[in-house]
Amino acid sequence: MDLFVGSEKAGVFMKKDERTKPLRQEKIREIVENYIVETQEDLAEHLRRAHIAVTQATVSRDIKELRLVKAPTGDGRSRYAVPNVENGTRRESRLESLFADAVTSIDASGNIVVLRTLPGMANAVASALDAAAWSEIIGTVAGDDTILAVVKPERVVPSVAERMQKLTGRNAVC
């Protein structure tokens, strides 16, 4: 038996099978490459206009699976973008770019490095930091403009904070 998902009211139906997800995710890549998409709701609306019915949970999972990142638009806002991260060099370059553009301060306490960013940029910076896979960082937690990076062992916190500060291109203030 075939299962269909969609909205009778909107006249939108899609066969739910193994082809739906890859097609939807390819459409998401196309949308974020061609439009400024600032929120999950913006992305869901673009998909609906393309006759693809989605829930917020599906959009959220797709964003995570596609490893979409938030990138600055240049006017103080941010948008979803497809990362061009295929190797360590690009990862570090992206990390340097995000740190230089978005990180406003770095401080440390105990085994935690606290990074402050421009509003809305903490998730993008934390994602890039996670992708860089620094062995000393065992995890990050990001809010809107603050990141907590948990460092292990604690004795390397000063060198991690200094390494982060260098990525900003500014003199240390922590």
Domains of the chain by residue range: 4-66, 88-168
CATH domain 4-66 topology:
Arc Repressor Mutant, subunit A (1.10.10)
CATH domain 88-168 topology:
Gyrase A; domain 2 (3.30.1360)
* 141/153 Cα distance (integer angstroms): 18
* 52/137 Cα distance (integer angstroms): 39
The distance from CA 123 to its chain's CA centroid, rounded to whole angstroms, is 5
- Token couple for 69: 């990142």
CA-CA-CA-CA torsion sign (119, 122, 128, 111):
positive
With a CB cutoff of 8 Å and minimum separation 6, the contacts of 8 are: none
* Residue whose entry in the numeric block shows the structure tokens 């292990």: 152
pTM of the model: 0.51
- pLDDT string in tens for the chain (174-residue length): 444 555 444 455 544 545 688 889 989 999 998 899 999 999 999 999 999 999 999 999 999 888 888 888 778 888 998 876 544 444 457 788 889 889 999 999 999 999 999 998 898 899 889 888 889 999 999 999 999 999 999 999 999 999 999 999 887 544
